Structure 1
Amino acid sequence: MRSNANKNIIYSIILLFLVAIVWLYRQNKQEKPASEEQETITGKVTLTGNTMGTTYRIVYLDAEERNFQQAIDSLLGVFNQSLSTYIPDSELSRLNQGDSLRFGLPYFLPVLIESKKVFEETGGAFDPTVGPLVNLWGFGPGGPQLKDSVNIDEILKLVGFNGIQFDSISVRKTKPGIYLDFSAIAKGYGVDVVGDFLANNGISNFLVEIGGELVARGTNEKGELWKVGVNKPEELGRSDDLFSILALNNQGMATSGNYRNYYEVDGLKISHTINPATGRPVSHGLLSATVVAENCMRADAMATAMMVVGTERAIALQEQLKDFEIFLIFNDSLGQMQFHASEGMKPYLSFPTN
């Protein structure tokens, strides 16, 4: 009897062991297709095109590998119909030609709200009404030429974003002749608009770039954070000659610089960055300002403001506001190239080895 009982125990143990093996086998069979499906989710789509007088490049991961090119081009067309200064009947052009505008498209109000916020935070260093001074100094269609102080002082009377008033329905100018130009914020905002479009279509991993302004969400096809380069601030440098590399953790990024967009008169460099307070080009050692923020619209506006205020004030502003990070490249008092990275930027910063 005891022998039979022992045999039954042994058989039971063997049976349980076999059941466990079968269960593990079935689990493995069930999990394998899920793993294969995960691989197909990383289907990579790359789109390129033209917009806002520059180019765009969009990379996203989509299991269905859907092509959103036509939809994105249409979206950017509507966006430009709101905020472009080159389209004669855009909403922005109509405001510049008149005194007020009732909003018809959804893009004008958000850019006004962010512009006012950055204008106030930076003490006017970022100011979308500075466009006429940029043109006056020769960075518009007229080409390079120095201007006399009388013209500058006259136009300065029309510079100041506090001359723009708006609510949820319309915008108006308090002084005739004020001219709005969102070139220092519109590309960043356009990047966000495209990013929102992708997210609304179920895309959670993407990198959108328009004219060097970017927004990244999720990870790339390798499961890593999207990485982008910061160019060396050299007048004749190649576009692939990188100073540093940044990993973007669900953030927007913009870079502004003076090292290429300038002209010389009698050995004097005239920068395209105009100080709205003085009406004259900035003169300091800051060569390039890269800003990383929650969205690209804020990064774009803040990068412009950093180039206006210079290195020391840029560092102080970032430490005061704390909702964006900065990477600055500048010349020190001896003319040597240096850099500054804010604390929140450092973990995501690397440098090319060659």
Structure 2
Amino acid sequence: MSKNLLFVILVAILLFLYLGTFQSSSNTPYRKTIIAMDTYVTTSVYSKDPQAAFDKVFQIFSDVERKVSFFEEKSALSCLNKRHLIKAGEAGFETLKALLEITLSYVKETDGYFDPSFAIYQAAYGFYDQNPRIPADEDIKAIVHLASFQNNVHISEEEIKTERGTLINLGGIAGGFALEECKKALLQKGYENFLIDDAGDIITEGTKPDGSLWKIGVKDPLDENPNSLAAHIVLPGGKAVSTSGSYERFIEVEGKKLNHIFDPMTGRPAESFVSVTVIGDSPIFVDVLSTALFAMPEEKAISFTENSKIAAFFITADGRRIISESAKNYITLPKRQNAQL
């Protein structure tokens, strides 16, 4: 079992404990879990007719995976990575174009700390060929020009082009994009109360039948107990939450764990945090910002969060808990912990 799969299973267990035991009633959630985009996606819906919701979630995630997955051989994104060109009319072009345009806006908004072209660094470290390694400084310098979405990705109505050698992985935004589409579709179908969890990227809508809000646990990556929580989040409907962690995807080299999120200033794995959680209205926003903030040095991340009024929760590499001003209404810590506010 992969480390990523184990992490997702733990998240699913925590959510199950929070949401209660399954029963076939509209007063308790129907649940269904699918495998999509290399992870588990769990839908919890309060309805007497949940199957249409399950089918729609499966359809949307399968469609997004088929078109923009880094690992799907025939996806539009894979074609772009191989040929550095995809034209209008080719399968998946419109979805890929829409997602790349959204990506570009976030690359600019985050000062380049969210940038899917960092996949070239992941490749250099062996994330994709099962050969973990630490590249030399000169090897990083040789590819740094490829780690720039703004310079290397060119989007028009007719085609999408990338500079030779560019590698794009949309894993940091595709899940949020799929959740956004799921939310729209389920609301259009009349579903009012549901939660969808895509490996820690979560959307909520409505409430539980008794009017209570959604409760979500944030795993404590510094505690060996897999059920230990670093924070409790209480969310009203219409919110989204995403957690990026060093424990999600990583490689080990000479006994050292190296996470998959990179600092653009160094071309090396980010080291300031072990977990960053973002709460907001849009699943795309929280998906992207949890990654971008994780990539930043601590001082910049905290400043960026407060200046932009982002609701965020940080666990630093040395174990400190930091709750942003905008997150204080959503997050509480276990009594044994203290947090910087």
Please list, as runs of the form range in 1=range in 2, the aligned pairs for 1:291-330 lying within 5 A after superposition: 291-322=278-309, 324-330=310-316
Does the aligned pair in 1 maintain the 2:240–2:283 contact within 8 Å? yes
SS in 2 for 1:222: coil
Does the aligned pair in 2 maintain the 1:44–1:221 contact within 8 Å? no
Does the aligned pair in 2 maintain the 1:234–1:259 contact within 8 Å? no
How far did 1:41 drift?
A: 5.9
How far did 1:63 drift?
A: 4.2
Pair 1:340-2:337 in alignment: no
Pair 1:180-2:168 in alignment: yes
Please list, as runs of the form range in 1=range in 2, the aligned pairs for 1:181-196 lying within 5 A after superposition: 181-196=169-184
How far apart in 1 are the matches of 2:257 and 2:41?
30
Does the aligned pair in 1 maintain the 2:242–2:277 contact within 8 Å? yes
Question: Which amino acid letter does the alignment assign opposite residue 297 of structure 1?
Answer: I
Pair 1:234-2:222 in alignment: yes
How far apart in 2 are the matches of 1:265 and 1:345?
36
Pair 1:155-2:122 in alignment: no
Question: Which amino acid letter does the alignment assign opposite residue 287 of structure 1?
Answer: V
Does the aligned pair in 1 maintain the 2:56–2:186 contact within 8 Å? no
Percent identical: 25
**TM-score (norm. length: structure 1):** 0.79
For residues 353 and 341 of structure 1, do their structure 2 counterparts lie closer, same or farther at Cα, with a shift above 3 Å needed? closer
Does the aligned pair in 1 maintain the 2:56–2:185 contact within 8 Å? no
How far did 1:263 drift?
A: 4.7
Residue number among 39, 45, 56 corresponding to 1:60 in the alignment: 45
How far did 1:234 drift?
A: 2.0
How far did 1:169 drift?
A: 5.1
SS in 1 for 2:70: coil
Which piece of structure 1 moves more, 117-126 or 252-261?
252-261
Identify the residue that residue 91 of structure 1 maps to in structure 2: 76
**TM-score (norm. length: structure 2):** 0.82
Per-residue CA deviation, residues 294-342 of structure 1 (Å, 9 max, x unaligned), is 21111111111111103221111122223x31111114xxx4x221112
Does the aligned pair in 2 maintain the 1:291–1:299 contact within 8 Å? yes
How far apart in 1 are the matches of 2:185 and 2:106?
25
For residues 235 and 170 of structure 1, do their structure 2 counterparts lie closer, same or farther at Cα, with a shift above 3 Å needed? farther
Does the aligned pair in 2 maintain the 1:43–1:65 contact within 8 Å? no
For residues 170 and 237 of structure 1, do their structure 2 counterparts lie closer, same or farther at Cα, with a shift above 3 Å needed? farther
How far apart in 1 are the matches of 2:312 and 2:232?
13
How far apart in 1 are the matches of 2:270 and 2:51?
46
SS in 1 for 2:268: coil
Question: How many aligned positions are there?
Answer: 307
SS in 2 for 1:347: coil
How far apart in 2 are the matches of 1:73 and 1:267?
38
Does the aligned pair in 2 maintain the 1:235–1:260 contact within 8 Å? no
How far did 1:271 drift?
A: 3.3
Does the aligned pair in 2 maintain the 1:235–1:259 contact within 8 Å? no
SS in 1 for 2:262: coil
Which piece of structure 1 moves more, 222-231 or 149-158?
149-158
Identify the residue that residue 8 of structure 1 maps to in structure 2: none
For residues 61 and 135 of structure 1, do their structure 2 counterparts lie closer, same or farther at Cα, with a shift above 3 Å needed? same
Q: Unaligned regions of 5+ residues in structure 2, if any?
A: 1-24, 337-341
* Bigger radius of gyration among the two: 1
For residues 221 and 167 of structure 1, do their structure 2 counterparts lie closer, same or farther at Cα, with a shift above 3 Å needed? farther
Pair 1:164-2:146 in alignment: no
How far apart in 2 are the matches of 1:252 and 1:283?
25
For residues 107 and 294 of structure 1, do their structure 2 counterparts lie closer, same or farther at Cα, with a shift above 3 Å needed? farther
Per-residue CA deviation, residues 87-136 of structure 1 (Å, 9 max, x unaligned), is 11111111111232235545323322331122112211111001121121
How far apart in 1 are the matches of 2:248 and 2:79?
32
How far apart in 1 are the matches of 2:223 and 2:249?
9
Q: Unaligned regions of 5+ residues in structure 1, if any?
A: 1-39
Q: Alignment RMSD, CA only?
A: 2.3
Pair 1:79-2:79 in alignment: no
Per-residue CA deviation, residues 62-91 of structure 1 (Å, 9 max, x unaligned), is 244444333432322211111101111111
SS in 2 for 1:244: strand
How far did 1:253 drift?
A: 0.9
Question: Which amino acid letter does the alignment assign opposite residue 276 of structure 1?
Answer: P
Pair 1:350-2:335 in alignment: no
